[in-house]
Amino acid sequence: MLVSLAWSSLASRRKSVILTFLSLLISISVLLSVEHIRQQAKESFNRTISDVDMIVGAPSGQLNLLLYSVFRMGSPTSNINYKSYETLKGSSLVKWAIPISLGDSHRGFRVMGTNNSYFEHFKYGTKQPLTFSSGQPFNALFEAVIGADVAKKLNYKVGQSVVIAHGIGNTSFTHHDNTPFIIKGILSPTGTPVDKTIHVSLNAIEAIHLSPAKQAKLLNNVDSVNTTPESITAVMLGLKSKFSTFKLQRDINNYKADRLMAVLPGVAMTELWQMMATVENLLRIIGILVLVSSLFGLSTMLLASMAQRKNEIAVLRVLGAGPSVIFSLVLVEALILVILASAAATALLSLTLWLLGDWLGATYGLFLNANMLNVETLKVIAVITVAAIITSAIPAYEAYKNALHSSLGAKN
């Protein structure tokens, strides 16, 4: 009855109520999305790489190296010698080494040169290995393995032949028309940048950068041109023993024959979080301020309505509603608005994330779960509800006071 009364009362003040609702909707959406993205980003980033003990690349920032080698974001400043990879691979401390070579793209997806050790040793999430949903690893020069999203987006099937272009970006001038690749395998979805990557052999990367004449020659006879790469972008290492991590890192950083830098993914990831924490907190504070201001808006709206509701309150009083009932009536009105706004915000964000999911993944390497219905969201909504109760206690108390003093004669 109280809820239905509160609802009718809100409905009778439609205009100001709708405006208040919209302001709540926006502020709750802001707060929820900040929290959700924060949560999910962390989760999504953390699951991108697993079981890799070290990443070795050309000296730059450790964050930079992590971003381009793991998240395929930005571009490498310089390369390392292929020989260095072979040295690393041969080290007694190293269990496995995955060479990677980045820089090309195909219709918006990054092309990465590597070898079969990638499919064998690379892990994501909680030490999950890469698996094939169809096909198998490449073994010839012009063969490619594509991520799940690439297959879905471009509708590529195993056995199909595709043409790979040079440079990053959707439209590039130099299409390597002469070097068609056969899709050899499609990986199962991982929810990481792997899904958006086209994997080819290191030699293939060399081959697509050869002069047209050499390419023509190569296409006639695969063995006629040497396609062993001279340089690659980075190497991911798995160590035999974690204890040797720091020794190896020091050795690599002091390596004389090539300029190398070794970073530990965990450490680099922490640096990433520290950098993001500032932004995160800033966003959070903004979100909270926006929410507080709209909660004040809510309480102002309710307070302003009190003057016109004096008679209504007197009527309720005389029917036997105690001041506490009047108090709760105002609170219930506030709660109805906040809960509806929270529900609408959750739905709105889920829809938005669902629609923008691919774009976020492709552009920022963010793989967000569109399902907003989780414990974190509920926690945030609970906090919002408590805050709403606190702020609307002001108009509720005003109504309570009104109720105490309301008497029959009030004729205003």
Instruction: Determine if 320 is a binding residue for another protein (CB under 8 A).
Output: yes
Beta strand extents in 10-147 (DSSP E only): 54-57, 80-81, 94-106, 109-114, 123-124, 128-129, 132-135, 143-146
Among 238, 223, 208, 62, residue whose Cα is nearest residue 144? 208
Among 236, 194, 110, residue whose Cα is nearest residue 367? 194
Instruction: Determine if 336 is a binding residue for another protein (CB under 8 A).
Output: no
- Of the candidate spans 28-36, 121-129, 316-324, 369-377, the one that interacts with another protein by CB under 8 A turns out to be 316-324
Among 325, 356, 389, 394, contact with another protein (rule: CB under 8 A): 325
Q: In whole angstroms, how close is the CB of 322 to another protein at the nearest point?
A: 4
Quote the CA–CA distance of 237 and 84 in Å, as a whole number: 12
- Of the candidate spans 106-114, 144-152, 339-347, 400-408, the one that interacts with another protein by CB under 8 A turns out to be 400-408
* Other CB atoms within 10 A of residue 175 CB: 14
Instruction: Determine if 8 is a binding residue for another protein (CB under 8 A).
Output: yes
Instruction: Determine if 409 is a binding residue for another protein (CB under 8 A).
Output: yes
DSSP state letter for 126: T
Beta bridge partners of 318: none
Annotate each residue in 276-315 with x if it binds another protein (CB under 8 A) or - if it does not, as one string.
-----------------------------------xx-xx
Instruction: Determine if 3 is a binding residue for another protein (CB under 8 A).
Output: no
Q: What does DSSP say about strands 161-165 and 175-187: parallel, antiparallel, or unpaired?
A: antiparallel
Instruction: Determine if 5 is a binding residue for another protein (CB under 8 A).
Output: yes
Among 9, 179, 233, 294, contact with another protein (rule: CB under 8 A): 9
Beta bridge partners of 101: 113
Among 135, 323, 361, 365, contact with another protein (rule: CB under 8 A): 323
Q: In whole angstroms, how close is the CB of 11 to another protein at the nearest point?
A: 7
Instruction: Determine if 12 is a binding residue for another protein (CB under 8 A).
Output: yes
Beta-carbon contacts of 40 under 8 Å, excluding residues fewer than 6 positions away, are 366, 367, 368, 369
Residues of this chain that bind another protein (CB under 8 A): 1, 4-5, 8-9, 11-12, 311-312, 314-323, 325, 406-409, 411
